[in-house]
Amino acid sequence: MPKSVFTILGFILLFLGVLSIVLSIVGTNFIFLSKLEDFGRLPAFVIKCLMIVIGMVMIVISMSNLKEENESYDD
């Protein structure tokens, strides 16, 4: 997969995670994420936080150039 796909997926996960936490504070949920609340409030919150963290990791990894970093260690 190209790097741009991972970047876009990372931003989508990050955006959905942040927005779902904000919406849960207000008292509403996304329809497609409403099943998370069946597990309870704390597990749903942890899953939403994991969405944010995984999105950030995907963005950072897709933006980094690992080939150049590995070549600099070979010298």
- Amino acid 45: pLDDT: 93
**Tens digit of each residue's pLDDT, the chain (75 residues):** 777 888 999 999 999 999 999 999 998 888 888 888 888 889 999 999 999 999 999 999 988 876 666 666 655
- Amino acid 4: pLDDT: 84
Burial of residue 66, with CB atoms counted within 10 A of its CB: 0-12 exposed, 13-18 middle, 19 or more buried: exposed
- Amino acid 75: pLDDT: 55
Q: Nearest to residue 37, comparing CAs of 20, 19, 55?
A: 20
Which 8-state DSSP code applies to residue 36?
G
- Amino acid 20: pLDDT: 93
- Amino acid 11: pLDDT: 96
